[in-house]
Chains A and B, each alone.
Chain A
């Protein structure tokens, strides 16, 4: 089968790999009909995540048709069109039972600090991902959800990660009616976080980024204010002034370790790898939020250390909330939001690329060429 094949930082190709096998009675094999490249795939692509091995297939956002099921699978049948949450979750461990599906303890041998994630390095379990024609899906009765008949597949594929992650970013912010919410990052997750903030009752939503076309997009799509930090001398000071010298009620870091905007963070975090990525957005979030405010983190950082003003967290009494999105927990509500027209995720898709051209798709997304917001990959077997 054809699959994306990682060859090293900034190098990927589409090549032939063996068809995946059922390795556990609860497994299914899914024929992929669409997969996305996620902003967090770029952390892998840029070589920032330890234990990213050559030959691996990325892709944790995908939908597809069930092709084969293991002997213990009961809820799915061959032919079902399913969306597959990016978290591999067993549904029976103490964490899954408490709906922490992003923190499953039975899906990742390599690290206890993160649950299993499709196509996201061996640090996240060593699973091949969905940027392929076929993919192995463990615990098929837990995560995969049959796509409602009236749902556009483009919306379905965005429900596997980007929509729940953006939504959970807003949810973790504990937004109260009337709050001012600042979102750092106008990538797909930041866009969804800004859109979701309104659903929780925000009175004002401000997005900060440096890519002008993305700022234009989010301003229009999420009906919010959007500012380019390149044209602002001091982001924190700007936000303090904008909030009546008080600070935002909630700040959301939707960037993670690939942030721009601070030379010291960029050099130590992204060039020298002395930090687990550049923590510029988180730094700004902590310093821009009000005393007693909430900082919600969904941006991805590596597993080592980061330079952030933790003293200010203590002295301002800030609550930090963070997690990988618990996709399964959020799906019923988000499906309803889409069906009722409150969310329109597919509008963020800008590029449809054949899987054969995966190298170009990664480069376009990474280098932010051709006004790219969200690329999706279409495998050849889904085009016949």
Chain B
């Protein structure tokens, strides 16, 4: 419901204790009364939607400007579209988005490979910096990973061997 100025003369004492100085949001907010006009400001020109933009169902329209960085696509995009059916107050919104983010990582690797680019995951994780500034921890991590992987493979091979009768 809109918050409109009205005649409250029938309410005894209406507004008698209103104190414009009592503004707990000051100085963060410079109170002007614009809040009471709700969404009725003169909107800036609307950016044309040249890509698919998912908008919160807690607003009636697209914002005047928006980013076009990575439009929804693939399986993660489907999940994101599903998520935007729910309000920002709902787990139905955020949990599918988190899941979509993880799926998107795999999609990113597939896209890289499709384009003939094999991602250098070690470089992307900044292991060069580890080698320079944190070598003992890096070596330890590599050794532990190698030992665990070898142990897992050995265990797997033992289980696969047919038992002699």
Contacts and interface: CB of A to CB of B under 8 A. Distances in A.
A138 B65 contact: yes
B70 A94 contact: no
Interface string A48-89: 001111111100000000000000100000000000000010
Given A98-B30, A360-B128, A23 B48 contact: yes
Given A172-B28, A326-B28, A363-B126, A108 B66 contact: yes
B97 A139 contact: no
B11 interface: no
Contacts of A126: 53, 66-70
Interface in A1-31: 7-13, 23-27
A370 interface: yes
A379 to B, nearest CB: 18
Contact of A53 (B59, B69, B121): B69
Nearest to A370: B133
Interface string B26-41: 0111111011011101
A9 B108 CA distance: 12
Given A98-B31, A108-B63, A370-B133, A54 B70 contact: yes
Interface stretch (A109-117, A216-224, A225-233): A109-117
B134 interface: yes
A172 B161 CA distance: 68
Nearest to B34: A94
B118 interface: no
B56 A112 contact: yes
A27 B48 CA distance: 13
A146 interface: no
A53 B104 contact: yes
Q: How large is the interface on B (under 10, 10 to 19, 20 to 34, 35 or more residues)?
A: 35 or more
Interface string B105-130: 10111000000000111011111111
A321 B28 contact: yes
B64 interface: yes
B18 interface: no
B91 interface: yes
A171 interface: yes
A243 B126 CA distance: 43
B64 A122 contact: no
A52 B128 CA distance: 25
A268 interface: no
Given A24-B45, A53-B104, A107-B64, A122 B35 contact: no
A57 to B, nearest CB: 7
Nearest to B87: A112
A123 to B, nearest CB: 8
Given A8-B108, A92-B43, A319-B24, A51 B129 contact: no
20 contacts: A7-B105, A7-B109, A23-B65, A24-B45, A24-B47, A50-B97, A53-B101, A98-B30, A109-B55, A109-B63, A110-B53, A112-B58, A112-B88, A116-B63, A116-B66, A125-B66, A126-B53, A127-B67, A302-B94, A360-B128
* In the A-B complex, the 5 residue pairs with the closest CB atoms: A363-B126, A126-B67, A127-B67, A8-B105, A54-B108
